[in-house]
Amino acid sequence: MPTPAPPPGRQGIPAPPGGHALWVDPDELRQVHVSPSASLPVSEEISAGGLVVDDDDVPRAAVIARRNRGGRLEWCLPKGHLEGDETPEEAAVREIREETGIQGTVESHVGTIDYWFTGDDRRVHKVVHHFLLRAVGGILTVEDDPDQEAEAAAWIPLDELESRLAYPNERRIAHAAHEALRGRPTWTHVRSSITTHRASDA
């Protein structure tokens, strides 16, 4: 089959085998393509949580298991949104108690995870403050979680925690907390950008 002749004014432009002449309208090249997310409203979210650690000979942290969007169970640090006039420290104590059953007192701030994600109707700047807490009471349970997101809770030795947590940013937080307990306090601030729909707070 012969190749169609190029339209007038577009001479000398090669055509692919069996196709039409390749041509791009110069006016289209001048158009600026704006990402749909650029016009979305922006909101700020602040959460808090962290590691509550017991005083056993082998220090352990209470962590929770949640289902991700794919239905898989993943181990993560307890955390949640600030409520009312709460400070991040107060929210961390409350969220850890609700999601693990363990009452703790704040020892230090060990790190912050700072990221963006895009939802259906907005872009969100999320900041999650993480603290190191000492366990002072309570029984390990997820029965008091008001959102019923935590399906299980467990004490994990700190030496194993980095390999058990599902999210890299939380593993960095766990490392910073472990260093603080060894007398080598560090602080970490993790920034990242998530351009898909919300997958997790980590």
Q: Which band of pLDDT confidence, cut at 50, 70 and 90, is reported for residue 24?
A: very low
User: Which of 9-13, 82-86, 121-125 is least confident?
Assistant: 9-13
Q: What is the pLDDT of residue 57?
A: 80
Q: What is the pLDDT of residues 70-110, one digit of tens each?
A: 899 999 999 999 999 999 999 999 999 999 999 999 999 99
User: CB–CB of 139/101 below 8 Å?
Assistant: yes
Kindly give the residue spans of alpha helices, DSSP state H, lying in the chain: 26-30, 88-100, 158-164, 168-181
User: CB–CB of 102/136 below 8 Å?
Assistant: no
Judged against a pLDDT cut of 90, whether residue 134 lies above it is answered with yes
pLDDT: is 128 or 24 the higher one?
Answer: 128
Report the candidate in 132, 84, 137, 125 with the shortest Cα–Cα distance to residue 110.
Answer: 132
Report the candidate in 163, 164, 144, 167 with the shortest Cα–Cα distance to residue 154.
Answer: 164
CB atoms within 10 A of CB 73: 11
Helix, strand and coil content of the chain, in percent to the nearest 5, comes to: 20, 35, 45
Helix, coil or strand: residue 47: strand
Q: What is the pLDDT of residue 200?
A: 44
pLDDT: is 172 or 56 the higher one?
Answer: 172
Measured in whole angstroms, the distance separating CA 148 from the mean position of its chain's CA atoms is 19
Q: Taking all residues of the chain, what is their mean pLDDT, rounded to a whole number?
A: 80
Q: What is the pLDDT of residue 193?
A: 44
User: Which of 24-28, 39-43, 50-54 is least confident?
Assistant: 24-28
User: Which of 18-27, 34-43, 52-61 is least confident?
Assistant: 18-27
Q: What is the pLDDT of residue 183?
A: 82
Q: What is the pLDDT of residues 147-190, one digit of tens each?
A: 888 899 999 999 999 999 999 999 999 999 999 888 865 555 65
Helix (H) or strand (E) holding 189: strand 188-193
